[in-house]
A and B are shown apart, each in its own frame.
Chain A
Amino acid sequence: MPRVLIFAFGNPLRSDDRLAWRAADVLAAKYSVDEVEVVTLHQLGPELAESVSRSGCVIFVDAAAGPGRPGDVRITQLSATSASSDAPGFCHAVSPSHVLALAAQLYNVRPRAYSATLVGKNFDHGESLSAPVKAAIPELVVRIDELVQKFINNKGQEVARRKT
C-alpha cells in the first residue's frame, strides 16, 4: 500500500468541479505508485475509510465554492476527532473529515491528513475549466507536492534515525 493516498474528487461533467481530476492527472505522473496512490472519485464514500486505514498520509483534493476568489488555493490540516461531533445525516457522500472519523472509529488509525482545495468559478454542465481555475492548477499541484515531499522526507528521516 502506498504511504501517501491522494483522493481527487468532483463531478467531471460539472465544469470547475472537475479540477481535482485535472490535478490528479499531473500528480499521478509524478510519483511511483508504491509511494503515492492517486485515486479519482465522483464523491467520497464511507468505504474509503479502509483505504485510509492503510496509509500514512491522506490528501483530499476538491473544488470549493468559496471563501475567496476563483483560483485561490487553500491547504488545511484535517483531523478525525473533529469530525465525529458533526456526523452527517446525508451519508451517500461524506466529507473528508468523516472518512477520517470512520477510519479512526472502525480501524483505530489516524493518518496525517490534509484538504487541498481550489476555488471554482463555474459549476454548470460542461467539461472545461474556467480561466482562473485553469491558471491555478499548477499552483495546486505544487502545494500538494510540497505536502507529499514533506511527509516522505520526514518518514525517511525517521527510518534513518531508527537505524542509527
Chain B
Amino acid sequence: MKQGNTIVIDPVTRIEGHSKITLHLNDEGRVEDARFHVTQFRGFEKLCEGRPFYEMPSLMARICGICPVSHLIASAKACDSLLAVRIPPTADKLRRIFGLAQVTQSHALSLFHLSSPDLLLGMDADPAKSNIFGVAEKHPELALDGIRLRQFGQKIIERLGGKRIHPAWIVPGGVSEPLTQANRDAILEAIPEAMAIAERTLEWFKSTIERFREEISTFGNFPTMFMGIVKKDNGLTFYDGKLRIVDASGHVVADDLDPTSYSEYIGEKVEPWSYLKSTYYKPKGFPEGVYRVGPLARLNVADRCGTPRADQELAEFHELQRTAVLSSFHYHHARLIEILYCIERLEQLLNDSEILSKHVRAVARPNALEGVGACEAPRGTLFHHYKIDEQGLIRWVNLVIATGHNNLAMNRSVLQVAKHFVQGKRLNPGMLNRVEAVIRCYDPCLSCSTHALGQMDLQIQLVDAGGEVLDEIKRE
C-alpha cells in the first residue's frame, strides 16, 4: 500500500494465468495509481539449462496450452540459427500455415469465449451470467461459431502436427513430415465455413461498436508507440520479416530493425511488485519507451495485409483514426481482421504448387553458439534467445513474451479505466468488470509464466490507511 486507501482485485478473471490488480486511492478517495501484478514466477528459462538444443522446440511448446505453436516456431527459428541453415521453401510455408492456424484458434478463444460476454451482455451484466455460459444461453449461435472457428484452427494444427496441443512437428531445420494431399484437401474443404464465421462475426462486431463509445475513449486510449514484425513491403506477417515501430501519430520511428538484434533496442525492466518484466524501446528510455504489440500494433505498423478481404477491412480500420488507432478497445476489432487475413492466407498457401513437396527439412550440426528466433504470436512479438556450448547443450535462455511487451501499456490502461469508472469508497461489479475488461483487450497469456490450478475467485477490496476493509466484492 502506497498511502491512503487501496483497492485490490485479486485475482483477475477471464485472462490466462494468475494476476491481481491494485488500485491506489488518495486521501480524497480518487484513484491515484494502478498496478497490474503477475504474482507467479516463470522458471522455464532455468529449466532448459543443460538440455540438448534440439529438444528446445518441443520443450518450449509445453510452456503454454494456449499459444504452444508460437513458442514452437520462435524456438525452431532460434535453433535454425544455431544450425546456421536455410530451411527448405516448403518447410517455411508449412510453418507459416501452422502459425496462421494458431493465431486463428487463439483469437477465437479470446474473442468468443473471453470477451464476447462483455460485448454481448454488456459491461454491467450480472457477473454470474457474464461468461461463456451466459453467451451460450442468450446467443447460442455465436457460442457455436466460436467453437467451430477455434476447432478449425486446432484441426489444422492436429492434421499437421499430429496432436492439437503440443505438437512437435516443427523441428530445427524445418518440419518433420510433409503435408499429405488428403490433409491439404481436408483443410481447404473447411475454409468456406471458417470464412463465413469470420465475416459474420466482423459484421456483428462493427454493428455493436457504437454502444461502447465510453469504453473506446477510456480503455487504453492514450499515445504510445506500436511495434510489430512486417514483411519487406510493410505487409502483415506472423512468421518472418523486419521489426517496425510507429509512434502515436502513425509516423515510423524505426524501420528495418533486425529482430535477431532485439537486445540492442529493447530493454527489460524488473519492477519489485511483479514477476512480469516490462520492456521498453531503449532509445526513448524507461518509461517513455512504452509501446504496444499484438493485433492492434500489427495493424498500426502494417501498410497492407496482402489478401483481398483483409485489405478492405484494414483500410476501414485505418479510417477509425487519422493517427495510429490508439484505443486498446480496438484490439478486438484488429483480432477479427487478423482472423480474416489468416483464413485467406491459409487458402493461398495451401494452393501453392510446392506445398506438397517432400523436401521439408535441412539437416546440420550446430554451427553457431548463439541463436535468436522471433515471430508474431497471437498476442504480439515473441523472442527466443539461446546460447549453447560446444556439445550443443543449452547454457543460457532468454524469452521475451508478448505480455511483457504490453506490461507498461496494460498498467496505464488499468489506471485510465480506474480513474474514469472507480469513484468513491463503494465498489460495484460494473466498475470491477471494466477494470478487468481492459486487461482482456490485450488477452494477456500469463500461462507462459504459470499454470492455473482450479477455479479462480475474484476479490476486490477497499482498504483504508489503517488496513481496515471498507468494502469488498467477491465472486466465486
Q: How far is the CB of A74 from chain B (nearest CB, A)?
A: 15
The reply to whether A89 and B458 contact each other, CB–CB distance below 8 Å, is: yes
B13 within 8 A of A: yes
Residue in contact with B455 in the complex, picked from A95, A102, A123, CB distance below 8 Å:
A95
Residues A143-157 near B (CB distance < 8 A): none
Q: Which of B59-67, B227-235, B244-252, B397-405 contacts A (4 or more CB under 8 A)?
A: B59-67
The reply to whether B16 and A92 contact each other, CB–CB distance below 8 Å, is: yes
Q: Mark B126-159, 1 if CB is under 8 A from A, else 0.
A: 0111111110110010011011101100100000
Residue in contact with B131 in the complex, picked from A50, A89, A95, A123, CB distance below 8 Å:
A89
Residues of A within 8 A of B130 (CB): 89
Q: How far is the CB of B474 from chain A (nearest CB, A)?
A: 11
Q: Tell me the bound Cα distance from A17 to B166 in angstroms.
A: 16
The reply to whether A87 and B134 contact each other, CB–CB distance below 8 Å, is: yes
The reply to whether A43 and B452 contact each other, CB–CB distance below 8 Å, is: yes
Q: How far is the CB of B338 from chain A (nearest CB, A)?
A: 19
Residues of B within 8 A of A126 (CB): 47
Residues of B within 8 A of A40 (CB): 163, 165-166
Residues of A within 8 A of B44 (CB): 13, 125
Q: Tell me the bound Cα distance from A29 to B131 in angstroms.
A: 38
Q: Tell me the bound Cα distance from A12 to B137 in angstroms.
A: 34
Residues of A within 8 A of B441 (CB): none
Q: Mark A36-67, 1 if CB is under 8 A from B, else 0.
A: 00011111011101100000000000000100
Q: How far is the CB of A95 from chain B (nearest CB, A)?
A: 7
Residues of B within 8 A of A93 (CB): 16, 65, 452
The reply to whether A41 and B165 contact each other, CB–CB distance below 8 Å, is: yes
Q: Tell me the bound Cα distance from A42 to B64 in angstroms.
A: 7
The reply to whether A89 and B47 contact each other, CB–CB distance below 8 Å, is: no
A88 within 8 A of B: yes
Residue in contact with A42 in the complex, picked from B46, B47, B109, B447, CB distance below 8 Å:
B447
Residues of B within 8 A of A94 (CB): 132
Residues of A within 8 A of B64 (CB): 42
The reply to whether B47 and A102 contact each other, CB–CB distance below 8 Å, is: no
Residues of B within 8 A of A90 (CB): 13-14, 452, 455-456, 458
Size of the B side of the interface (Cβ < 8 Å), in residues, is 52
B114 within 8 A of A: yes
Q: Tell me the bound Cα distance from A24 to B147 in angstroms.
A: 25
The reply to whether B137 and A45 contact each other, CB–CB distance below 8 Å, is: no
Residues of A within 8 A of B14 (CB): 89-92
The reply to whether B456 and A49 contact each other, CB–CB distance below 8 Å, is: no
* Contact A13 B47, CB 8 Å, known A90-B14, A95-B455, A106-B144: yes
Q: Tell me the bound Cα distance from A49 to B147 in angstroms.
A: 8
B454 within 8 A of A: yes
Q: How far is the CB of B435 from chain A (nearest CB, A)?
A: 13
Size of the A side of the interface (Cβ < 8 Å), in residues, is 35
Residues of A within 8 A of B66 (CB): 42, 92
Residues B428-476 near A (CB distance < 8 A): 447, 451-456, 458, 475-476
The reply to whether B147 and A50 contact each other, CB–CB distance below 8 Å, is: yes
A112 within 8 A of B: no
Residue in contact with A106 in the complex, picked from B43, B128, B143, B458, CB distance below 8 Å:
B143
Residue in contact with A47 in the complex, picked from B114, B131, B151, CB distance below 8 Å:
B151
Residues of B within 8 A of A89 (CB): 13-14, 127, 130-131, 456, 458, 475
B8 within 8 A of A: no
Q: Tell me the bound Cα distance from A102 to B131 in angstroms.
A: 12
The reply to whether B163 and A88 contact each other, CB–CB distance below 8 Å, is: no
Residues of A within 8 A of B132 (CB): 46, 91, 94, 102
Residues of B within 8 A of A95 (CB): 455
Residues of B within 8 A of A81 (CB): none
* Contact A91 B131, CB 8 Å, known A11-B451, A47-B150, A50-B151: yes
A82 within 8 A of B: no
A113 within 8 A of B: no
Q: How far is the CB of B460 from chain A (nearest CB, A)?
A: 12
Q: Tell me the bound Cα distance from A42 to B133 in angstroms.
A: 22
Residues of A within 8 A of B453 (CB): 17, 65, 123
Q: Tell me the bound Cα distance from A102 to B458 in angstroms.
A: 22
Residue in contact with B113 in the complex, picked from A12, A84, A92, CB distance below 8 Å:
A92
Q: Tell me the bound Cα distance from A17 to B451 in angstroms.
A: 10
Q: How far is the CB of A83 from chain B (nearest CB, A)?
A: 9
Q: What are the 8 tightest A-B residue pairs by CB atom distance, in nearest-first order? A: A42-B65, A89-B13, A11-B451, A87-B133, A125-B43, A90-B456, A90-B13, A47-B150
Q: List 6 A-B contacts (CB under 8 A).
A: A13-B63, A86-B476, A89-B458, A92-B15, A102-B132, A105-B140
Additional A-B contacts beyond A13-B62, A93-B452, A123-B453 (7; CB < 8 A): A42-B165, A43-B451, A47-B109, A84-B133, A91-B131, A105-B137, A125-B43
Chain A residues in contact with chain B, CB under 8 A?
Answer: 11-14, 17, 39-43, 45-47, 49-50, 65, 84, 86-95, 98, 101-102, 105-106, 123, 125-126
